[in-house]
Amino acid sequence: MRSNIITAVSVLACRAFALPQPNNDACMRDAQANTVAKNFEALISAYTNATANAVMTADVVDYSDSVISLMDSACPTSAPAGSPLPFVALGTATFDSRSDFEAGQGGQPNITFELLNVWHNCDTVTLRWRSSTPNPGPAAPATQEQVTGIVVLETKFNGWQSAQPFLIQSIFSEFNSGAWLYDLEVLKPSNCSAAAKRDLESSHSGSNARRGRVSAGARR
């Protein structure tokens, strides 16, 4: 009987150590990392303010030159004529609070969003994603360019007993915005069918110069 009690206690102790320990271990596991990734997916593909309030901190900051390029329609110094969005300079924060994020993202249409990869450490989730139809509206090219991107999400531990143990606190996101601008019919390439041109003489000279540098280096 005594042996059975000791065995039962040992099993319970092992199980306790296998679970996340409140206040002692704030390092996310695969399950929490996937939840954070899915939370971000929901912010893009099925946005609601309730979701934003539930999965992000109030002081969340979002950095993305790619998003700024979309907001500014690639204009370098001012917002395009008639744009409801203010001009945002590249290299600055896209959104600097949850309320700012809600005001910006809440007015955007949901898009297709496929999670391709998820990696994580104790408090940061990195994900790779793809959208096959970034422009869900009726005014879109017959064939859209797919958009692929990388997002790094820094999180804040919110307690193991919380419905969301890890909240998104910082967002660093980049993607091929040129393809997205094409899908929005902002960018309209005019030379796609033109033959590629190269200055063969300059290219040949450059190649010779590079070979000369390599030879000189080899002699040393």
CA atoms of 184 and 170, how far apart (whole Å): 27
Q: Lowest-pLDDT range, 59-63, 66-70, 212-216?
A: 212-216
Query: Token match 């949850």: residue?
Result: 98
Q: Lowest-pLDDT range, 101-110, 130-139, 175-184?
A: 130-139
Q: Lowest-pLDDT range, 67-76, 154-163, 172-181, 202-211?
A: 202-211
Average pLDDT score over the chain: 81
Work out the average pLDDT over 143-161. 94
Q: How far, in Å, are 27, 49, 145, 210 from residue 61 at the CA level? A: 22, 16, 28, 45
CA atoms of 116 and 126, how far apart (whole Å): 11
Query: Tell me, what amino acid is at 178?
Result: G
**What is the band of 18 on the pLDDT scale with cuts at 50, 70, 90?**
very low
CA dihedral 120, 159, 36, 62 (to 10 degrees): -90
Q: What is the CATH number of domain 24-188?
A: 3.10.450.50
| CB-side neighbour CA atoms (13 Å) of 62 | 26
What confidence score (pLDDT) does residue 206 get? Answer: 53
